[in-house]
Structure 1
Amino acid sequence: MAGTTVTGTTVDELLAELAALEDPKARAVNERHGDDHGVNLGRLRAIAKRLKTQQDLARQLWETGNTPARLLALLICRPKAFERDELDAMLREARTPKVHDWLVNYVVKKSAHAHTLRVAWFADPDPVVASAGWALTTERVAKRPEGLDLAELLDAIEAEMRDAPERLQWAMNNCLAQIGIEHPEYRARALAVGERLEVLKDYPTPPGCTSPFAPIWITEMVRRQNPT
């Protein structure tokens, strides 16, 4: 595990460097969001910039199971170098929100296996895995909707989102909002579904930020697209 990398840095040295960045205040904030580390992500990104792309090192860092090490791995890996089953196994191991989010957004979305994984994960009985399927579907809704049945997606959201576990609920809500924002022909229904379900209606939103409550989110983003 401590083998020397191309840059002369070992995994053990990187683990020690990441441990030295641990900040109790940052950990307290992260733990409120379900994460289990206290490393400033700006500093972690600086380490990744120094290391550059190193696929073998990324795999070694991932295998440690250490959250900051896994985040670093996702920044220095080569997304297209992973096999489908490897990405599937990684996602099922990625239980903390930040690792899960970065894996989906920084790696899986850039992989040649994104489509097959989206289909497989979308219907998975594990809600955390299913949330990744919904996240990949949301990107399709916004960028490449061809082949998607948006009415069917709205049916599923209307039937399941209110009682879905938190991470899956959040992913479905994102999809609902993107359907309403990007597809005018479905906007009225998306707004109506959001109003009826009231998911995230009371979510605390800082001043200057847009509420994740779908009707507010859709209305605001459409306004920005069509300023008067």
Structure 2
Amino acid sequence: MAKQMTLSQVMKELEVHGDPKVRERYVRDGAGDNVFGVLMGKIRALAGALGQNHALGLELWATGNHEARILSCMLLDPSALTEKEARKLLEPLTLSLLVDELVGRVLVKAPVAEALQGRWMDGNKELPRRAGWKLLAGRIAAGLAKDLDVKATLVRIERELPEAPHRVKEGINYCLVWIGLHLPGYRKEAIAIGERLGRWDPRPIPKGCTSSYAPEWIAAVLALRKGEKTEARKKMEAATAKKKPAPERKKGAPKKASARKRTS
């Protein structure tokens, strides 16, 4: 049974779970000053207890608090949003993480998703453009883009990605990868386009993450589906293992006997 809580009770619950070090990281990443520093696991647990609650979700969003808005994305009812309401939620955003949460958790499932997708993809604002491409990717994955002209979309991806702002590039590339993964008939073409576009993201790959280079990303997910690892993943894990320092031996602890017998 869903837990009944008021807005003030939920905000107090979030504040209690705030961590100053996590807050520092969120602020550094662009979450603004209205943030407690609550880890995602705690937010998900609270969302599970509350269940879907559209009215409370809207109240949480209106606070402007970072964690409250993440939680809001887990409570909102996609079917209850009009196109105007959805635009009001997303278009003022300045943080790509919140854009992705709102799109992936709510708007992809909304009846107005296709209309929003077209408006945002054809617009000139950076984060709404990102949202439009992410919406299309999500609808492809969910089998909701049945009337999509995939060939024309692939042409558009190759044309628009090189000159797009970085955060839009990420959305376009995400869509390319999702076409390659969820539309097998276009996989080779998606990989070929990825190869022609090249490694457009010069940033180092964070430890434990997959390359944003579309051919490698597609290969990594396909390998994971088979329970395998790509060569790139094996090399990355080997390099990480080499960097790990050997565990320190406690003072006074006896040395372990060698497995190899000493020859005289």
Normalised by the shorter chain, which TM-score bucket?
A: 0.7 to 0.9
**Equivalent residue, structure 2, for 1:126:** 125
Amino acid in the other structure paired with 1:199: W
1:12 aligns with 2:8: yes
The whole-number CA distance in structure 2 between the counterparts of 1:179 and 1:102 is 20
Change over 3 Å in CA distance of 1:61–1:157 after alignment to 2:
same
Find 1:24's aligned residue among 13, 20, 25.
Answer: 20
The whole-number CA distance in structure 1 between the counterparts of 2:29 and 2:163 is 20
Contact 1:59 1:73 in 2 (8 A): yes
Cα distance, 1:136 vs structure 2: 1.4
**Equivalent residue, structure 2, for 1:186:** 186
Cα distance, 1:125 vs structure 2: 1.0
Contact 1:34 1:97 in 2 (8 A): no
What SS class does the counterpart of residue 162 from structure 2 fall into?
Answer: coil
Contact 1:58 1:76 in 2 (8 A): yes
The whole-number CA distance in structure 1 between the counterparts of 2:153 and 2:183 is 13
Amino acid in the other structure paired with 1:95: T
The whole-number CA distance in structure 1 between the counterparts of 2:100 and 2:38 is 16
**Equivalent residue, structure 1, for 2:232:** none
The whole-number CA distance in structure 2 between the counterparts of 1:44 and 1:126 is 30
Contact 1:118 1:133 in 2 (8 A): yes
Identity of aligned residues (%): 33
The whole-number CA distance in structure 2 between the counterparts of 1:219 and 1:102 is 25
The whole-number CA distance in structure 2 between the counterparts of 1:201 and 1:214 is 14
TM-score by length of 1: 0.83
**Equivalent residue, structure 2, for 1:154:** 154
**Equivalent residue, structure 2, for 1:110:** 109
Per mean C-alpha deviation after superposition, the further-off stretch among 85-94 and 192-201 is: 192-201
Change over 3 Å in CA distance of 1:91–1:218 after alignment to 2:
same
Q: How many residues of Structure 1 are paired with residues of Structure 2 in the alignment? A: 221
**Equivalent residue, structure 2, for 1:206:** 207
The whole-number CA distance in structure 1 between the counterparts of 2:40 and 2:95 is 15
Contact 1:61 1:69 in 2 (8 A): yes
Contact 2:96 2:127 in 1 (8 A): no
Structure number with bigger Rg:
2
- Root-mean-square deviation (CA), in Å? 2.6
The whole-number CA distance in structure 1 between the counterparts of 2:85 and 2:91 is 10
The whole-number CA distance in structure 1 between the counterparts of 2:44 and 2:224 is 31
Change over 3 Å in CA distance of 1:184–1:10 after alignment to 2:
closer
1:34 aligns with 2:33: no
Change over 3 Å in CA distance of 1:47–1:145 after alignment to 2:
closer
What SS class does the counterpart of residue 161 from structure 1 fall into?
Answer: helix
The whole-number CA distance in structure 1 between the counterparts of 2:20 and 2:177 is 35
Cα distance, 1:18 vs structure 2: 1.7
Structure 2: unaligned runs, 5 residues or longer: 229-264
Cα distance, 1:227 vs structure 2: 8.4
What SS class does the counterpart of residue 148 from structure 2 fall into?
Answer: coil
**Equivalent residue, structure 2, for 1:83:** 82
Change over 3 Å in CA distance of 1:39–1:160 after alignment to 2:
same
The whole-number CA distance in structure 2 between the counterparts of 1:175 and 1:212 is 12
Per mean C-alpha deviation after superposition, the further-off stretch among 81-90 and 174-183 is: 174-183
What SS class does the counterpart of residue 93 from structure 1 fall into?
Answer: coil
1:128-147, Cα deviation, whole Å (9 max, x unpaired)? 00111101111333334432
Cα distance, 1:182 vs structure 2: 3.6
What SS class does the counterpart of residue 162 from structure 1 fall into?
Answer: helix
